[in-house]
């Protein structure tokens, strides 16, 4: 299923991409891995990170390019078996300030991936999605939500056969470069206090290693038109701050543009098309698209969906184990 396969990982020089590659090289024997990213400095950083973490550079190719360039994508996906699409413009504020670029990378880029995979008879394509794309209120969420829709719609282009198009949707990655952990660390160093937009705000959090393992494991599920969601714990931000910095002053500064109090991971509408498996959920998104509940291979989990507030699984002090910042 994985051994002997050729991979293309868009955004592969990023935090998630590197961890996916580390796990692929450590636990499996891929024929080759192509990293496709537009940032040449990140390529250099990635090479150093791999070497520092005992990952051989053998059979890893570093290719500079953008997902907005369809002709280049067609070339780099030739003779590839599996695409993992992690490339995106991810910062909420950056997307709010640059909506045209966010659409180009997050939406048109997803379309280009779908079409290049179809053109080159790729076995399967995994899209990295986000809870920000569920009931979205900001540009980032809207563009990532559209990317999900594109991957579901692609099932029609493929005639229900290969490529298998699927998405992995999850919440915040603990300790990633864009998370609140490095922000608080710098604030403590500079000001001796930390800021919180709203202490009652809740978020889903998941360790980086778990996300990467979850994505790789979904390769083994030969299905199409599905959205996979790991079971995650959530926490309110006031409690999170108390755990990470118990003796530091907290300043509540108010919600920023594009932020929500709580994040939804499965909507009420999706829940009737959702199956609960061992440690994850599967939304039959294609059956939902064509409004065919009879075709869905499940009976639903709830009638109200799942969000970070009503989530029964909560983080406690154990979250500290994962709070080292990942580069």
- Beta 172-173 vs 164-170: how paired, if at all? unpaired
pLDDT value at position 327? 54
Categorize the per-residue pLDDT at 211 as very low, low, confident or very high, splitting at 50, 70 and 90: very high
Residue 299 has pLDDT above 90, yes or no: no
Q: What is the DSSP letter of 314?
A: B
Indicate if 132 belongs to the active site: yes
β pairing state of 226-230 and 164-170:
parallel
* Residue 248 confidence (pLDDT): 93
Tokens representing 301 are 């989990």
Token pair 């008879």 is at which residue? 121
Q: How far is 150 from 144, CA to CA, in rounded Å? A: 10
Residue 263 reports pLDDT greater than 60 = yes
* Contact assessment for residue 271 and residue 305, using Cβ atoms and an 8 Å cutoff: yes
pLDDT above 60 (res 212): yes
Question: Which candidate, 162, 171, 122, places its Cα nearest to that of 144?
Answer: 171
Contact 40, 73 (CB under 8 A): no
Partner residues linked to 63 by β-bridges:
36
Q: How far apart are CA 37 and CA 53, in angstroms?
A: 20
Given a cut of 70, whether residue 325 has pLDDT beyond it is: no
40-52 and 15-27 helices, crossing angle to 10°: 40
Q: Please say if the pLDDT value at position 294 is more than 90.
A: no
User: Residue 295: its pLDDT value, please?
Assistant: 60
pLDDT tens string 213-251: 999 999 999 999 999 999 999 999 999 999 999 999 999
Q: Which residue has the higher pLDDT, 295 or 180?
A: 180
**Confidence (pTM):** 0.94
d(CA 314, CA 277): 19
Looking at the DSSP assignment, which residues form a beta bridge with residue 172? 205
Classify domain 6-170+207-229+271-298 at the CATH class level.
alpha beta
Q: What is the mean pLDDT of residues 276-283?
A: 94
What's the residue count for the chain?
A: 327
Residue 276, token pair as written in the block? 């609960």
State the pLDDT at residue 158: 94
Coil/strand/helix, residue 140? helix
With 0-12 CB in 10 A as exposed, 13-18 as middle and 19+ as buried, what is 18?
Answer: buried
Please report the sign of the dihedral spanned by the C-alpha atoms of residue 63, residue 129, residue 186, residue 317: negative
What pLDDT does 179 receive?
Answer: 80
Residue pair 325/177 in contact (Cβ under 8 Å)? The answer is yes
Mean pLDDT of the chain: 94
Q: Which of 298, 307, 306, 308 is nearest to 274 (CA)?
A: 298
Positive or negative torsion for Cα 88, 288, 314, 168: negative
Return the ∠ at Cα 120 (arms to 114 and 122), rounded to 5°: 70
Q: Does the structure show a pLDDT above 60 at 304? A: yes
Q: What is the mean pLDDT of residues 43-47?
A: 97
Q: Which residues neighbour 88 within 8 Å (Cβ) at sequence distance 6 or greater?
A: 11, 105, 106, 109, 128, 144, 147
Mean pLDDT of 170-199: 90
pLDDT value for 59: 97
CB atoms < 10 A from the CB of 86, how many? Answer: 23
Domain range annotation of the chain: 6-170+207-229+271-298
User: 323: pLDDT confidence band, cut at 50, 70 and 90?
Assistant: confident
> Helices 208-218 and 15-27: crossing angle, nearest 10°?
60
Q: Which among 18, 25, 90, 132 is annotated as catalytic? A: 132
């Amino acid at each position: 299923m994985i051994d002997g396969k050729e991979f293309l990982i868009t955004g592969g020089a990023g935090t998630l991409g590197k961890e996916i590659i580390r796990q692929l090289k450590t636990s499996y024997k891929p024929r080759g891995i192509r990293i496709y990213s537009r940032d040449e400095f990140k390529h250099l950083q990635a090479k150093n990170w791999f070497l520092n973490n005992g990952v051989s550079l053998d059979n890893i190719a570093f290719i500079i390019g953008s997902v907005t360039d369809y002709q280049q994508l067609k070339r780099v996906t030739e003779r590839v078996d599996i695409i993992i699409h992690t490339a995106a413009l991810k910062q909420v504020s950056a997307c709010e300030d640059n909506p045209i670029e966010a659409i180009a990378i997050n939406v048109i880029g997803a379309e280009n991936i779908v079409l290049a995979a179809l053109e080159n008879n790729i076995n399967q394509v995994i899209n990295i999605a986000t809870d920000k794309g569920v009931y979205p209120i900001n540009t980032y969420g809207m563009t990532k939500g559209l990317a999900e829709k594109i991957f579901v719609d692609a099932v029609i282009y493929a005639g229900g056969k290969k490529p298998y198009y699927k998405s992995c949707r999850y919440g915040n990655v603990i300790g990633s470069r864009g998370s609140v952990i490095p922000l608080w660390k710098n604030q403590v160093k500079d000001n001796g206090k930390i800021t919180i937009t709203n202490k009652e705000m809740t978020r889903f959090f998941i360790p980086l290693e778990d996300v990467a393992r979850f994505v790789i494991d979904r390769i083994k599920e030969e299905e199409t038109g599905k959205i996979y969601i790991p079971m995650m714990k959530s926490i309110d931000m006031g409690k999170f701050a108390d755990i990470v910095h118990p003796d530091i002053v907290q300043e509540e500064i108010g919600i920023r543009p594009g932020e929500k109090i709580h994040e939804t991971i499965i909507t009420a509408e999706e829940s009737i098309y959702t199956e609960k498996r061992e440690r994850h959920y599967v939304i039959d998104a294609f059956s939902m698209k064509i409004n065919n509940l009879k075709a869905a291979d499940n009976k639903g989990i709830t009638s109200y969906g799942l969000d970070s507030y009503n989530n029964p699984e909560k983080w406690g002090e154990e979250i500290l184990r994962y709070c080292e910042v990942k580069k």
